[in-house]
Structure 1
């Protein structure tokens, strides 16, 4: 099915759902889809689609982009979603053209109006993170991260060159919006951007893809692989290296996370994932303002255009001191601070986030709102308007050797609720067994019996 010629499909006669049904046959894996199209009146060059089951790698993606941009408009819109898989189109797309049931009506219309769109159903997701860098190299201009409101205030040159990046979230958390609602909201952002470009009369080339898949199915055999808990620095499947701050030639702070998520309440909760901007080859974060010495470490992550704020900083403050009770040095993450457009939100973490100085600290989930390890500094400041969520979080601010984390002190205690339940149940069963054994040992035989061969026992009766 992947070898089906796109040139044989009239875009106006085929719905988006049928297109992806034909192209996205196959199972979801470590891949993300990529869709590229141009505005009306402009056509992408004809291209040979990938073979069925083939995963497009970085060099092949670069060749596709080079060919596509050779004759397409150089005002490029990159819609970069945090997570996306082929299953999202299958589950949430319109069924046989039913747009009322689709989460992607604007994307459908854009593809139907485009001539020869480029559709890559299986792009290697580590290579998808390098897409902004590839486009920057092809266009010769730096990416500009925007939202529709900011784009409406700009005036683009129809014959100019621009790389405009629009970050789109993806959430499946129980307390957030459903995936369908998030995808529908993202599609509305796509529609707003395309309408603005159309109103300004600026031709464009659009790309819709993701940084990583929303659904990952493990492939291959697990024979010979460790399935127990392993440290991040020992894992061979680490998709990207940690953030590394150096003082001179030596590294003094390391930070790694599967994702760093911030949510801000402004009439409703708005969520932004900072992981793609922080880690990997497409990272745009700056560490300006970071510092470290023997007793204090401060890691500053500087971003632009996060949730509508032009300047945004995420600051981790750590310190170490000697505790006589344990006769050793411990480090604590004292505060996590947000600075945005001159405002500040402060979260305390020193009572919950700590480890021996020689170790790194690791936790599966560090949040400020559910099973919180981070607490708002004050109920009256801006921290109540923010939620922080760090997944698979690991940090080390002291005694860093090379570029690898030291042994990790995990936030998960040894006696988990399951272990306590097992111990209590075992204790109750032991008590019942002990009581039964004690009762059996208390049984005694009679000390006198009636002998049937001798005289009967006479019991005198008084008349």
Structure 2
């Protein structure tokens, strides 16, 4: 019972925290010459924001609050008119304070003893009633629609008119709700990760003899789109096997692939590949240590005339000889098809060689510096050095 109550309390606390975070909106404050400096990364609670407004708005201050239906910091940075921001007039204000995260800022103005006037602004900029500025009063101007550029122009013209009528004005620009939800972004990101699942690997095994795992096998004309071919079983050909040779057949409803392996001096290699009784060849020889597997992201074979092609995508393969006790059950260490001398390695070696040459050249010059063997005597005759010396 105690555990269930504790769990319920934690869930309620988590829900409350998520709701508080979801109500954070940006706030701009300007108009007063003594606006307090506010760090850009500060997150204000409603009580802290109320204290800030009370410190700026005295009994003789008229406060006007411009309220959007929804606004987030992303709107301030991404809203553009051509190459300029939608908030051109707001950006021109020299002395203003910006709070990127404030919890329910409108609650700071919902005080009974204050004279609060609610004004609606239509999409064409018409006010529902005239605003008369006076000390200690608050006017909340609700901006309709989502045209930030027109709202910016309305705010500029209305603030300029009111400032001409009343000097002591504190202006606030904010919103009721945020237009950008981080929880929805996280949810979309998680959904994208779930949709983008890793491709399924196909594995075929001949017990104690052969293992292959691959993502896709395709075959067809080299100059056209290849067709995917599926295999459902791997079989060891007893007629073509010995202590040093191994033949494996991969069979499926749309084709058959024959792989021939050769064991020589502690290493194995692929010596022959046939698909639908047609031999295919690899340009680079696959030669791997006996206890290692071979892995490649794209293993391609072509016919002798290079007109047909077969490709293994993301393949790992390993034959094995003499594992009658059942010890060969998984891949050994992988030998990757990427060569050891990649372009990056060659570039690094070339740069190292240049630095070594420059260093050796500099050291040779330093070793050639000679110490003076004669010194000038201020009381004696001046030293004369001839050209021969």
TM-score by length of 1: 0.35
Identify the structure with the greater strand proportion.
Answer: 2
Whose Rg is larger? 2
